[in-house]
A and B are shown apart, each in its own frame.
Chain A
Amino acid sequence: GDSVTQMEGPVTLSEEAFLTINCTYTATGYPSLFWYVQYPGEGLQLLLKATKADDKGSNKGFEATYRKETTSFHLEKGSVQVSDSAVYFCALSTSNTGKLIFGQGTTLQVKP
């Protein structure tokens, strides 16, 4: 079945460091890809998305490019801040229903 694999955390970085969180997927259809973020004490919220190959989703300085040839959707940010500390989930949707299949989540901790 369809699945998403994320790099295991926690990831600990200093402020202004470069961030990469790897995400790869397996899908029988042509998926839409998403990154969701869960800040401490808050609900899950969409960070960015891409719906077709080579699309780049971006938001709040984060970017991810839909790579069909490598079935990947890695999340990157050039300079992280303490406020980026959160749990990040990669997800896909292939069904017409839009139901999401999530990766296990990666905890990011940014230290000042």
Chain B
Amino acid sequence: GAGVSQSPSNKVTEKGKDVELRCDPISGHTALYWYRQSLGQGLEFLIYFQGNSAPDKSGLPSDRFSAERTGGSVSTLTIQRTQQEDSAVYLCASSLANRNQPQHFGDGTRLSIL
């Protein structure tokens, strides 16, 4: 079956521009996570969505980062006024609604800020 789909797979942009990353979770998965994988920081949690509940935004590194999830399915992560330190692979994962359920990861979006 279809896994977690992320787009674009690669994004190169200039410093100061805004970028939008998309995640399409596995159908039926109510939990959705965003993580960031970078050389200096490893894998870090960014934000979590569960159904209609308020998202857990505790991992967002600054107010330039925001995310939304429309209709309980597709999610977009937006980074405004990008900085070079935002360069990383952004991973999306989805799971069934239980903290012990495995998270299924997409292939990620590799973001490079020039």
Give residues in A with beta carbon < 8 Å to B. 32, 34, 42-46, 49, 51, 89, 91, 93, 95-105
B42 touches which one: A93, A95, A98, A103 (CB < 8 A)?
A103
A112 vs B56: C-alpha distance when bound (angstroms) = 45
Q: Are B100 and A100 in contact (CB-based, < 8 A)? A: no
Question: Taking the complex as formed, is B1 at the interface, i.e. its CB lies under 8 A from any CB of chain A?
Answer: no
> Once bound together, how far apart are the Cα atoms of A69 and B15, in whole Å?
48
Q: Complex formed: what's the CA distance from A6 to B90 in Å?
A: 22
Does B102 sit at the interface, judged by CB under 8 A? Answer: yes
A98 touches B98 (CB 8 A): yes
Q: How many residues of B contact A (CB 8 A)?
A: 27
Q: Is B103 part of the binding interface, using a Cβ–Cβ cutoff of 8 Å?
A: yes
A101-B43 Cα distance, complex, nearest whole Å:
8
Taking the closest CB of chain A, its distance from the CB of B70, in whole angstroms, is: 20
Q: B residues bordering A, Cβ < 8 Å?
A: 3-4, 31, 33, 35, 42-45, 48, 50, 56, 59, 91, 93, 95, 98-108
Evaluate whether A98 and B103 lie within 8 angstroms (CB atoms) in the complex, with A43-B108, A44-B91 already known: yes
Q: Which residue of B lies closest to A31 (CB)?
A: B99
CB < 8 Å neighbour of A43 from B59, B95, B100, B107: B107
Whether A89 contacts B98 by the Cβ 8 Å rule is no
13 more A-B contacts (CB under 8 A) besides A43-B3, A45-B105, A46-B103?
A34-B102, A42-B107, A43-B91, A45-B104, A49-B102, A91-B43, A95-B56, A96-B99, A97-B31, A98-B31, A99-B33, A99-B48, A100-B45
